[in-house]
Every structure is written in structure tokens, then in C-alpha cells.
Amino acid sequence: MTIPPDYNAMPETEFRAMIRAFVTQAFPSELLHVARRVGPQEVADYNRRMAQQGWIAPAWPVEWGGMGLDTAHQIAFAEELAAIGVPRLHEMGLQMLGPLLMQFGTEAQKAQFLPRILSAADVWCQGYSEPGAGSDLASLRLSAVETPTGWVLNGQKIWTTMAHQSNRMFMLARTDPNPARKQEGISFFLVDLAWPGITVRPIRTLSDELEFCEVFFDDVQVPRDRLVGELHKGWTVAKALLGHERLFVGSPRYVRGAFDQLTEMVEALPPDAIAARERHMKLRLDYEDFLSLYADYSDFAKQGGQLGAEASILKLLSSEIYQRVTEEMLSLSAEAGVIADANTDQAEAATHFFQSRPSTIAGGTSQIQRGIVAKAVLGLPV
């Protein structure tokens, strides 16, 4: 039996150099620095090579096939991918479901699903949001009615990322229609999107991408072994996910590419473009403040600290600075920026702009983040 290397024993500079060298060679060069989310089919060969290398799951424990990285090395891994220009990948199985199954899943569920996540045999999407239940997720209404063999699902999910390129979904459904509190009576299920009664309908976005979907459930039969955790306790399972992703949701990796391109655009302006340079400097100050705060939170996490509600500040700053940067990019590129099929900086500016629009909504709106900070961090009445 081969003993996996102890990556945590490596000096951080050596670890970073190792990751950088391999990923630079393995990741498709034509997909570096793209502003959109990259689909699983586009990076299938990259995922296969990362799996063969044993690096597909940096945060997973070694016993489940992961690298077993501590927080410091996880952050270093993510920062190196961002520096190389690896864009957003569809990794919900690796980043979200895997850690939840390790914590709440049965031994049979772990044995069935974790190896298939590692090998990329399964592609998972997240079925949370519904019409009328987005930021207020606990208001979800998709029903799961118990039967002798399991549950029957009826209802709709919306804004489901990459459902049309996934074969499975982890989801929340209401198993008690009359709970004392709306966060109660919700359960966490695993479903196959090929099951009878499930219809996936892609949504074309403003940026002309097919990234999100509607998913309809009509009398969908779910067996008992697809319930994760306790019945009616799905909210507890879903909340546990926050502990796995808080720091990375507010990562600067998606802002960095846009800001670097904006800087190149400003440097190419004539010397008398004083107003544009002043706007760029103001943005740079806010951008550097954000990077400094992220570095402080990263150092805290590296030392074993557990980020709480204050991580909402990172999400808030990351998304709003991203929008401000892309607005300035589009302003500088003027009308040419809307030509989405041109191979120009203007077309990239338009792509960044369109991608930035939902960033203050996805993952919790800016209003929700401000409310969390006000109540949980500042202790203000909300």
C-alpha cells in the first residue's frame, strides 16, 4: 500500500511551487482567466489528471482519498490556482457534498458516493433556491411526502447551477408542512436527475451563458437510503456547509482578474486621462483594503481560528468591489464593450461586467450580508 505524502510537512513556498508547476502544465491554457464558470466537460481531462495526482480534493482527509491539507495549505492551494488564472469550476461535489457526507452520511452513503465524487464519475448540483425562497431559504416549499418506501417530491428549484451538466443533486425539501419554526421540518436528500418526474430547463443569462437552471419535480420517488442526516433536520445539515466554505466565498480570486485587466486598460490611456486615473486609484485603495482584510482572516484561520458571521464582510466586499471594477472597465471600453463575440479587451470587459451583476445576489444578497454583520458582529437590533 502506498503511503500518501504529508503535504502539511512541506514548507509553504515549496508546496506552492509544486502546485504551480503541475497546474500550469495540466490546466487548459485557453481557459485561463476566463470570466465565466467553466463546465465539467471542459475540464474533464484536467480533473482526471488531478485525481491521478491525488490532488482533486485538497481539503478531504487522507483516509477518504484527499490531500488532508491543513487550513494554511488549503489557502495556499487556492491562492496558487487563482494566481495561475484557473477560473470558477463546478466542484459542488468536492467542496460541498463531500464534507457533508463525511459528517452526516451513513457508512453506506460514504462508500457509494465519495469515491465517485473523487473520480468525477458523478457531477453534483445544489438544489436549494426556489421561486420565493432564495435569500429567505427557510421559506422553501418543495414537498417531500413520506411513503412506505421513502418520499415523493413535488415542486420546483430555480437558479440551480450547472444542473444541465450534472447527473445528481443534493437538495432540501419540506417534510413537515406545519413546523413550529420555518427552519424546522426540512430534510436533506440525494437524488438522481435521470429519475422519472425530474425535468431540467436551462436559463440563458444576461452574459449569454447557460449556467443556471430550473428543475421541476413531479411525483419523484426517493428511496429511504437517500436521506442524509435526521428526518426534519436538513437545516442543520445545510448550515454545517457554511463552516466549510466561509473563507473561500469571499476569496479575492474572482476580483483579481478583473482588477488586473482594468489596470492594464488604465496604463494604456493617454497621459491626460487624469479623471480615469483618479477613479482607478480610489478603486485600488478599496481593493487593497479588501486584500488586507482577507489576509488577516486567512492568518486567523491558519492559526486554527473558526470564522463566524464576520466572514460575511468578505462576501460583501468581494462582490461589491467586483461590480465597481467591472463598471469602470465597461466605462473605459465605451460602446465597444458590448460586443461579446469580439476577441478584444472590450469583449472581456463586457463578459466581466455581465458576470459581476449577480455576485451581490448569489450566495446571499448584499442586504442579507449587511444584516448578518449588523446583528451577529456589531450586536445591533435588526
Backbone angles phi, psi at 164, to 5 degrees: -70, -15
Specify whether the CB–CB gap between 31 and 96 falls below 8 A. no
Dmax (CA) for the chain in angstroms is: 76
- Beta strand 168-174 with 124-127: parallel, antiparallel or unpaired? parallel
Identify the residue whose cell numbers are 469602470. Answer: 328
- Which one from 245, 267, 288, 335 is the annotated catalytic residue? 245
Which residues are CB-contacts of 191 (< 8 A; sequence separation ≥ 6)? 127, 153, 168, 169, 170, 171, 198, 220, 222, 226
Residue 278 appears among annotated catalytic residues:
no
Nearest Cα to Cα of residue 332 among 280, 282, 281: 280
Nearest Cα to Cα of residue 44 among 65, 28, 29, 57: 28
Our measurement of the distance from residue 78's CA atom to the centroid of its chain's CA atoms, rounded to an integer in Å, reads 13
Q: Write out the catalytic residue numbers.
A: 245
